[in-house]
A and B are shown apart, each in its own frame.
Chain A
């Protein structure tokens, strides 16, 4: 039987690959990514389900999905510009993705089907740090966290749970890890950017609160509080929390090991694992 052996959550900040290269492995961001990477390596997954939010790079408003899944042999990315991360092909577990699409449809979640796929930094920055040889097959699952109206946090959590249940029903012995990427409080390019920067963190208190709920496993409290209005107050990219909600739903009984806010930033680094891992 297939098994979900780890969950991880990280930011996907575009300048981080270049900054980590420049500042070296002792920089706090490098350490935070490495801690998550080590957790993932220890779980030795053969497949990584990636819950991400597209930034109007994979999709456009002519056909904007609330949820979507890539059923392709490979995805290429990043299709936006990410210093230090060249455009490349990433293997996708196509057969598994096809099964997953059908299974979650059966469970009541209607995902758009992508048979050609380019991905942006939301996928490629996490992989750059977590699976740098880029050979672990992924299944990309897109959650709309950036273009209102957003799906509810609970809906995303339940989508994740349906994904987890579908994986558990696979007959093969597959070790599966689940990734989420994104921020809890972030304004990108909108009116609430900081002086002299193209981004801002409008609601650090909310990011801290989310982090604490995740660390303490208080998911239902978080799902109740993470309303569309609450998310909107935390910035125009704060809906990326929804990717994390799906990941937490998918990992099911795995316990949070460590969920740590990057000091002064609106995003966190988190790991979920089995008790014996």
Chain B
């Protein structure tokens, strides 16, 4: 499945409090255990939710990045970056 590991990261952010703490603290280190290609890694670390959606991550999962402020993502940035992909 496309972008499975990216999806898994977003899922864990909601349901694994220890993982959430780690990724808020040090996103680069927290995602090392996952199989991300360079494009996925860049999109994730830059909080480019529009690109992450294009790569195949479900918006219901991506919303969790702004809910918890992962990689500093704000709701405003989320909306702008997603709407750019219309």
Contact of B82 (CB < 8 Å), options: A56, A62, A189: A189
In chain A, residues 203-251, which have Cβ atoms closer than 8 Å to a Cβ of chain B? Answer: 236
- For A56, A62, A188, the residue with the greatest tally of chain B CB atoms inside 10 Å of its CB is A56
Q: Inside 8 A of B79's CB, which chain A residues have their CB?
A: 193, 195-198
Are B78's CB and A198's CB within 8 A? yes
Are A60's CB and B60's CB within 8 A? no
A-B contact count (CB 8 A): 54
Are A190's CB and B53's CB within 8 A? yes
In chain A, residues 170-196, which have Cβ atoms closer than 8 Å to a Cβ of chain B? Answer: 188-193, 195-196
In chain B, residues 36-86, which have Cβ atoms closer than 8 Å to a Cβ of chain A? Answer: 50, 53, 58-63, 75, 78-79, 82-86
Are B4's CB and A61's CB within 8 A? yes
Smallest CB-CB separation from A80: which chain B residue?
B14
Q: Inside 8 A of B19's CB, which chain A residues have their CB?
A: none
B1 within 8 A of A: yes
What's the minimum C-beta distance from A49 to chain B, rounded to whole angstroms?
A: 24
- The 0/1 profile, CB within 8 Å of A marked 1, for residues 1-45 of chain B is 100100110010011000000000000000000000000000000
What is the number of residues of chain A that contact chain B, defined by CB distance less than 8 Å?
Answer: 21
Q: Inside 8 A of A80's CB, which chain B residues have their CB?
A: 14
Are B4's CB and A56's CB within 8 A? no
Are A195's CB and B83's CB within 8 A? yes
Are B11's CB and A190's CB within 8 A? no
Contact of B60 (CB < 8 Å), options: A188, A191, A195: A188
A80-B14, A191-B83, A191-B86 known; A198 vs B1 contact (CB < 8 Å): no
Cα(A197)–Cα(B82), bound, Å: 11
A61-B1, A61-B4, A61-B7 known; A188 vs B63 contact (CB < 8 Å): yes
Are A191's CB and B4's CB within 8 A? no
Are B14's CB and A189's CB within 8 A? no
Smallest CB-CB separation from A54: which chain B residue?
B60
A56-B58, A80-B14, A146-B60 known; A193 vs B1 contact (CB < 8 Å): no
Cα(A236)–Cα(B53), bound, Å: 12
Smallest CB-CB separation from B49: which chain A residue?
A189
In chain A, residues 55-86, which have Cβ atoms closer than 8 Å to a Cβ of chain B? Answer: 55-57, 60-62, 79-80
A255 within 8 A of B: no
Smallest CB-CB separation from A197: which chain B residue?
B79
Contact of B59 (CB < 8 Å), options: A60, A61, A195, A236: A236
In chain A, residues 125-160, which have Cβ atoms closer than 8 Å to a Cβ of chain B? Answer: 146-147
Cα(A79)–Cα(B50), bound, Å: 26
Are B59's CB and A188's CB within 8 A? yes
Q: Inside 8 A of B50's CB, which chain A residues have their CB?
A: 191
Q: Inside 8 A of B82's CB, which chain A residues have their CB?
A: 189-191, 193
- List 7 extra interface pairs beyond A60-B7, A198-B63, CB under 8 A: A57-B14, A61-B7, A61-B11, A62-B8, A146-B58, A198-B75, A236-B58
| Chain B residues at the A interface, C-beta cutoff of 8 Å | 1, 4, 7-8, 11, 14-15, 50, 53, 58-63, 75, 78-79, 82-86
A-B residue pairs, 5 tightest by C-beta: A189-B59, A189-B63, A190-B59, A191-B85, A191-B86
| Cβ contacts A to B, 12 pairs, < 8 Å | A56-B61, A60-B7, A61-B4, A188-B60, A189-B60, A191-B84, A191-B86, A193-B79, A196-B79, A198-B75, A198-B79, A236-B59
